[in-house]
Amino acid sequence: MGRLKEFDQDKAIDGAVDCFWARGYEATSVRDLAAHMGIGGASLYNAYGGKRALFVAALERYANRSSRERIARHEAAGQPRQAIEAFLAEIIDRSLKDRARKGCLLVNSALDVAPHDAEIGKVVAGYLEEIRAFFQRNIEAARRAGQVPRDIDAAGVSAHLLGILLGIRVLARTRPDRALLDSVVRPALDLLNVPAISKA
Amino acid sequence: MGRLKEFDQDKAIDGAVDCFWARGYEATSVRDLAAHMGIGGASLYNAYGGKRALFVAALERYANRSSRERIARHEAAGQPRQAIEAFLAEIIDRSLKDRARKGCLLVNSALDVAPHDAEIGKVVAGYLEEIRAFFQRNIEAARRAGQVPRDIDAAGVSAHLLGILLGIRVLARTRPDRALLDSVVRPALDLLNVPAISKA
DNA sequence: AGTTTTTTGTAGCGAACGCTCTAGAATGAT
DNA sequence: ATCATTCTAGAGCGTTCGCTACAAAAAACT
């Protein structure tokens, strides 16, 4: 058949993710990528085709290992309302601990790359839609379980929560302040509260 | 004194704004800038010092002509609640009409440039804070006028609205869909509603 | 007019860019 | 062992990057 690849392909693509995540698409050079991936330039082109194709691969890797992993983890407990709240709480926690202020690769790409590359734009939009669908799915499940108001608009609130999520990830990169980020989310979580017997 | 500048400085800086706005900081070259500004490279360096200094100048120009202008325009009518609602409605309208999907230069910079440049980061954070302060100021005025609930948390809701605004501008660049963006905003605007006599 | 100061166009600096070429090393098939 | 195939390392392709040196041009001073 031919010579076998010598490098660890998982470690390599993770290195690419780290590069694009930290610096963005344009500001990351092929030499940076190869160095962090632990391979030579020729191997990079042989294995991935080029910078743009590698970026698409890195996006998918990130989606699988970060975004979808988080969704699956929070959804596994079968507590839909808790899943939504814990999901958002984790985003805030991670944003505050994120000393390098890397944010979320998908959100960064939505602003950086997607508007200038229709194909990548669709990929990113698809990943964001997965997050919105996670919200909607769990709102509906929580409604069936009586954990949220009966008349809640699952589709509408899921879009609202996606917007909140994007806002947090942007704001955290310029002002990673716990009180501020909590304030962004709080009214959204209040939407999930079953209204108490009115005190008006 | 010496020879006078031959180019229109306002048109030049507007050209720079357009470049950075459309393509971002890294992806915009000094040659692109000079061409769109209608000047030569030497004049650019003579007048602005360099790419980064020009970017800071372009940011300030954008803040004055776009962000602050919009704030002042909506606040001028003296209808604080209406100012908030119209402000957000205008953002959505502009995002949907924005065929090039340029979004907002301040928001783009918050994700692109700010995390990698502390000084510019503070500048951007300052501009975003101006928007949040606009929200808070008008929430408080609306409360005094009885247009919003008496017990509203002006600071907290202003942060929420800023988050919503950022989320819209990100989402609009990958999925400029009217129904989606309206759904993001609606629950936030509901916070401003004076609760009716309870129907629970 | 002559001097000084600033702006302008051109040309080009060294460095980095994405990418490719080439020679050789490492594999499975014959 | 030989072959065909694949992968790797290094050099280097042409281009573009941010920026600067230089001299001509244009203004305000004496």
What is the DSSP code string of A73-121? HHHHTS-HHHHHHHHHHHHHHHHHH-TT----HHHHHHHHTGGG-HHHH
CB contact under 8 A, B174 and A110: yes
Is there a domain that residue B31 lies in? no
Please report which confidence band the pLDDT of residue A198 belongs to, taking 50, 70 and 90 as the band edges.
Answer: low
Of A23, A112, A187, which has the smallest distance from its Cβ to B188's Cβ?
Answer: A187
Q: For A50-86, write each residue's pLDDT tens digit.
A: 999 999 999 999 999 999 999 999 999 999 999 999 9
Is there a domain that residue B27 lies in? no
Q: For A135-152, write each residue's pLDDT tens digit.
A: 999 999 999 999 999 999
Is there a domain that residue B150 lies in? yes
Is there a domain that residue B24 lies in? no
Q: Which chain C nucleotides are covered by protein, judged by CB under 7 A? A: 4-12, 16-22, 24-29
CATH number at residue A71: 1.10.357.10
Q: Flag whether residue A189 sits within 8 Å of chain B, measured between CB atoms.
A: no
Task: Characterise A49 by phi-psi region: left (phi > 0), alpha (psi -120 to 50), beta (else).
Answer: left
Is there a domain that residue A24 lies in? no
Q: Of B157, B156, B70, which Cα lies nearest the Cα of B105? A: B70
Q: Which of residues 47-86 of B touch strand D (CB under 7 A)?
A: 50-52
Q: How far apart are CA A93 and CA A81, in angstroms?
A: 18
Q: Which domain holds residue B65?
A: 59-190
Q: Which chain D nucleotides are covered by protein, judged by CB under 7 A? A: 4-12, 16-22, 25-29
What is the gyration radius of the CA atoms in chain A, in angstroms?
A: 20
- Strand D close to B29 by CB, under 7 A: yes
Residue A199: pLDDT over 70: no
pLDDT of residue B39: 97
pLDDT of residue B5: 87
The arithmetic mean of pLDDT across residues A146-173, rounded, is 98
Angle at B198 between CA B192 and CA B200, to 5 degrees: 120
Q: How far apart are CA A196 and CA B83, in angstroms?
A: 31
- CA–CA distances in Å: residue A112 to residues A2, A18, B27, B110, B198: 39, 16, 10, 11, 46
Is there a domain that residue B6 lies in? no
Is there a domain that residue B44 lies in? no
Q: How far apart are CA B62 and CA B8, in angstroms?
A: 17
Q: How far apart are CA A110 and CA A108, in angstroms?
A: 5
- CA–CA distances in Å: residue A52 to residues A17, A32, B179: 13, 14, 32
Q: For B20-54, write each residue's pLDDT tens digit.
A: 999 999 999 999 999 999 999 999 999 999 999 99
Into how many domains does chain A fold? 1
Residue B126: pLDDT over 90: yes
pLDDT of residue B197: 63
Please report which confidence band the pLDDT of residue B96 belongs to, taking 50, 70 and 90 as the band edges.
Answer: very high
Task: Characterise B38 by phi-psi region: left (phi > 0), alpha (psi -120 to 50), beta (else).
Answer: left
Q: Looking at the predicted complex, does its ipTM rise above 0.90?
A: yes
- CA–CA distances in Å: residue B52 to residues A32, A175, B84, B117, B130: 22, 21, 34, 10, 23
Eight-class DSSP state of A39: S
pLDDT of residue B1: 78
Q: Of A91, A169, A165, which Cα lies nearest the Cα of A132? A: A165
Is there a domain that residue B28 lies in? no
Residue A191: pLDDT over 90: yes
Please identify which residue in the block is written with the tokens 């959505």: B92
Of B111, B128, B168, which has the smallest distance from its Cβ to A163's Cβ?
Answer: B168
The arithmetic mean of pLDDT across residues A159-172, rounded, is 98
